Amino acid sequence: MSLQQEVEFLRNIPLFSKVDPTKLKLLAFASERLAYNDDQILFHQGDNGDAAFIIMEGNAAVLIDTENGAIEVARLKKGDVVGEIAILCNVPRTATVQAKGQLTTLKVKEDTFFQLVTEFPQIAVEIMRELAARLERTNAQLRDALNKKAS
């Protein structure tokens, strides 16, 4: 994929849709393109977060460690962003992310990510919306699990 194709790809992601194309070009240029094979780990729960990842091709599983082993809580697809919580909140990674099949990502380092959020507050709004949606899904899953346990 060429730099221009990466810019077009980023423009189609809601998080970056309002960002000036020249800034997207800088983002694509400053980001690292990484390829993963099936079952390779992007990062582990508890790792220090120094970057976010944009899924360019393929799928990945979001896994949470439990006493009974890891459980899959979400599946990521093309256009999804993952890893931003650790850099935004300065906390360890909240989950493990594992490639499911061939996976290609753009790795956006923390300083580049913060520069974009600072220059384009709309990105911060979109991140808040995404995090709120994730929280609601998690709450629904927790309610369902508690209801099943009570039954």
CA angle 110, 34, 31 (to 5 degrees): 40
**pLDDT at residue 99, rounded to an integer:** 98
* CA gap 8, 146 in Å, rounded: 43
Strands 96-109 and 81-82: unpaired
Whole-number percent of the chain with pLDDT over 70: 100
**pLDDT at residue 138, rounded to an integer:** 79
Cα dihedral 125, 130, 133, 134, rounded to 10, equals -140
**pLDDT at residue 98, rounded to an integer:** 98
Give me the mean pLDDT over the 31-48 stretch.
96
The residue among 42 and 147 whose pLDDT is bigger is 42
pLDDT in tens, 74-101: 999 999 989 988 777 888 998 999 999 9
Q: What is the DSSP string of 52-121?
A: EEEEEEEEEEEEEEETTEEEEEEEE-TT-EESHHHHHHT---SSEEEEEEEEEEEEEEHHHHHHHHHH-H
The full set of domains in the chain, from first to last, is 3-145 (2.60.120.10)
